[in-house]
């Protein structure tokens, strides 16, 4: 038994393993548990880890903490991976990639844990504890009632080997508990300076469920050591775990990584952001039409500042500018208005082609248009979960048709329509509501909407008739935005108040109170549709 352990200890110190990393290589990681959607907080922690690694030519590692088989699900892991990829946060080592230090899922690392747990047991640094849940709870309540910090009584700390053997034989449920030495543990937090904690405040902690299943703190310490993590960058909520982990690392003879505890992202009520605040999974932002570069930019600014008034950062410029000094130590409220502003900014910066590509799925989903090519050819990603699908430039050459009328339209037509709303979009999903009138035959609106200010019904009728007459005389070849503007503006001027002509025209074309300008819209719709809509409007009165 002892010999075996010596053997495994030797393996642990295998020099070959250490050679694998470059001298001085900075290695960071995130270690999410796949027990739910990939959320904003994890995304930001990932981002800062990634930026820190990139800035220092280090490695960013993704480890999946799926030790809890009941709560961990493959689909959540996939959700995390998809989210990270969407944001452009790439890992050098992770599940199904890298593999320099064994598997990157905790569920596949039992062999590794076993060695260390056995080692701790052999060295009598951990012990079997057979106390029942009720017993522990009662003791806890007692301590609380006399105003003491709840911690383990130490009842099983000195059980004789015979007692342990007997209990094990009886299959009594147990946990493995760490003999916490009574002392003060302190560490330097890269953000907060020295943090010191008295170990008596937590006492003997449970570190493993059985010989191969470490609990969170132990697993984390073993993995971080095995994976040669140099910097642990994580949320502030882990500060209380840190002294425990340091203790465990010490008892295993591991070197101490550097620690940096990021402030939390808060909800409007200043508590940790959660679903309760309506915090959405990262991929939900994708669905709603946020651009990954916007979310990254926003998240980076939440708790970090570059020291200059600059607000817009691409991932590359973030890597360039990032420094730990710019990190904030207080929590920051998630302000979606600012996210919207940044998103709008990035939308405005897109080329018309790119923007059209990005918007198309939303028009298709709203059933305003449909792709015209073979069904099989179409990216098979119209399932709800996959929305929006990733399209490429192949769309440019494709044809589409208006769902309602079956009329064929080109990418170019869509591009023109969508571009009109480029500077009005805050998120891509808004596009269908804003441009729906391009794809509808009959517009729903009340006749009151046609009247500008205090115009009478008669005036409105006359204006529409006049418009019809003027527009009829324009040749289809002259049907351009510039020309329409030239002609109509002169006529509108004659009416006195331009709005008396332009407002009813715009409403007739769009059926909306707010929209892009009538000249652009009319030029895209074409002569026939324009006249048709004026006729429709006229009929309402």
Q: Which residues bind RNA (CB under 7 A)?
A: 137, 140, 144, 147-151, 192, 195-198, 201-202, 236-237, 239-241, 263-264, 266, 269-272, 301-303, 305, 307, 309, 311, 326, 328-333, 335, 337-338, 340-341, 344, 348, 423-424, 452, 492, 498-499, 502-503, 506, 513-519
- Nearest distance in Å: CB 22, RNA: 32
Please give the C-alpha separations between residue 40 and each of 66, 75, 288, in angstroms, as whole numbers. 20, 18, 15
Maximum Cα interatomic distance, the chain, rounded to a whole number of Å: 106
Distance (Å, whole) CA 287 – CA 427: 10
Question: By C-beta, is 17 or 139 nearer to RNA?
Answer: 139
Q: Which are the contacts of 217, defined by CB distance < 8 A and separation ≥ 6?
A: 205, 207, 241, 244, 245, 248
| CB contact at 8 A, 501 and 467 | yes
Which residue from 303, 118, 308, 91 is spatially nearest to 211, judged by alpha carbons?
118
Question: By C-beta, is 42 or 59 nearer to RNA?
Answer: 42
- Nearest distance in Å: CB 128, RNA: 18
Question: By C-beta, is 433 or 478 nearer to RNA?
Answer: 433
Question: By C-beta, is 89 or 273 nearer to RNA?
Answer: 273
- Nearest distance in Å: CB 117, RNA: 19
- Nearest distance in Å: CB 451, RNA: 11
Question: By C-beta, is 122 or 311 nearer to RNA?
Answer: 311
Please give the C-alpha separations between residue 128 and each of 5, 124, 205, 219, 356, in angstroms, as whole numbers. 19, 10, 11, 18, 63
Q: Which are the contacts of 474, defined by CB distance < 8 A and separation ≥ 6?
A: 483, 484, 487, 527
Which residue from 99, 304, 106, 373 is spatially nearest to 214, judged by alpha carbons?
106
Task: Name the active-site residue from 275, 354, 447, 472.
Answer: 275
Question: Residue 30 gets which letter from DSSP?
Answer: E
The per-residue b/e assignment along 206-218, b for 16 or more CB within 10 angstroms, e otherwise, is: bbbeeeebbbbbb
Q: Which helix (H) or strand (E) holds 118?
A: helix 110-122
Distance (Å, whole) CA 307 – CA 300: 13
Question: By C-beta, is 17 or 157 nearer to RNA?
Answer: 157
- Nearest distance in Å: CB 190, RNA: 11
Question: By C-beta, is 25 or 236 nearer to RNA?
Answer: 236
Question: By C-beta, is 138 or 168 nearer to RNA?
Answer: 138
Question: Residue 255 gets which letter from DSSP?
Answer: P
Distance (Å, whole) CA 493 – CA 500: 10
| Per-state percent for the chain, helix, strand, coil, to nearest 5 | 50, 15, 35
**In residues, how long is the chain?**
541
Known active-site residue 275 = yes
The SS3 call for residue 307 is coil
- Nearest distance in Å: CB 177, RNA: 11
Distance (Å, whole) CA 188 – CA 259: 7
- Nearest distance in Å: CB 382, RNA: 29
- Nearest distance in Å: CB 341, RNA: 4
The string of DSSP codes covering 458-511 is: HHHHHHHHHHHHHHHTS-GGG-SHHHHHHHHHHHHHHHSSTHHHHHHHHHHHH-
The residues that are catalytic are: 275
């Amino acid at each position: 038994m002892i010999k075996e352990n010596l053997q495994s200890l030797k393996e642990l110190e295998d020099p070959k393993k250490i050679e694998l990393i470059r001298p001085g290589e900075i290695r960071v990681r995130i270690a999410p548990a796949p027990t739910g959607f990939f959320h904003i907080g994890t995304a930001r922690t990932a981002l800062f880890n990634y930026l820190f690694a990139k800035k220092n030519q280090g490695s960013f590692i993704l480890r999946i903490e799926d030790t809890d088989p009941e709560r961990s699900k493959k689909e959540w892991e996939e959700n995390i991976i998809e989210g990270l990829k969407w944001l452009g946060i790439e890992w050098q080592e992770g599940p199904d990639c890298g593999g320099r230090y064994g598997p990157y899922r905790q569920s596949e690392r039992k062999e590794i844990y076993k060695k260390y747990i056995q080692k701790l047991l052999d060295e009598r640094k951990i012990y079997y504890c057979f106390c029942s849940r009720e017993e522990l709870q009662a003791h806890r309540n007692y301590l609380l009632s006399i105003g003491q910090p709840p911690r383990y009584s130490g009842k099983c700390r000195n059980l004789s080997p015979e007692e342990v053997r007997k209990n094990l034989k009886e299959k009594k449920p147990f946990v493995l508990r760490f003999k916490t030495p009574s002392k003060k543990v302190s560490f330097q937090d890269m953000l907060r300076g020295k943090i010191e904690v008295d170990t008596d405040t937590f006492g003997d902690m449970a570190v493993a469920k059985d010989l191969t299943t470490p609990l969170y703190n132990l697993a984390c310490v073993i993995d971080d050591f095995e994976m040669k993590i140099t910097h642990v960058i994580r949320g502030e909520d882990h500060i209380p775990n840190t002294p425990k982990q340091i203790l465990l690392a010490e008892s295993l003879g591991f070197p101490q990584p550097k620690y940096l505890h990021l402030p939390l992202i808060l909800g409007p009520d200043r508590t940790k952001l959660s679903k309760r605040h309506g915090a959405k999974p990262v991929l939900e932002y994708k669905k709603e039409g946020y651009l990954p570069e916007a979310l990254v930019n926003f998240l980076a600014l939440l708790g970090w500042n570059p020291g200059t008034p600059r607000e817009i950062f691409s991932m590359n410029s973030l890597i360039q500018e990032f420094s730990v000094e710019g990190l904030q130590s207080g929590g920051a409220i998630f302000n979606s208005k600012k996210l919207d502003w940044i998103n709008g900014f990035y939308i405005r910066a897109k080329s018309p082609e790119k923007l059209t590509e990005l918007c198309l799925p939303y028009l298709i989903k709203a059933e305003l248009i449909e792709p015209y090519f073979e069904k099989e050819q179409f990216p098979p990603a119209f399932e709800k979960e996959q929305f929006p699908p990733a399209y490429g430039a192949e769309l440019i050459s494709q044809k589409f048709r208006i769902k309602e009328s079956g009329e064929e339209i080109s990418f170019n037509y869509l591009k023109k329509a969508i571009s009109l709303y480029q500077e009005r979009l805050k998120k891509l999903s808004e596009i269908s509501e804003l441009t729906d009138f391009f794809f509808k035959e009959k517009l729903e609106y009340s006749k009151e909407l046609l009247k500008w200010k205090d115009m009478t019904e008669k005036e409105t009728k006359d204006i529409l008739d006049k418009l019809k007459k003027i527009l009829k005389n324009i040749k289809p070849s002259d049907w351009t935005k510039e020309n329409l503007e030239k002609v109509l503006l002169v006529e509108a001027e004659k009416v006195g108040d331009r709005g008396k002509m332009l407002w009813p025209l715009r409403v007739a074309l769009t059926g909306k109170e707010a929209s892009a300008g009538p000249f652009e819209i009319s030029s895209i719709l074409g002569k026939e549709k324009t006249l048709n809509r004026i006729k429709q409007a006229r009929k309402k009165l």
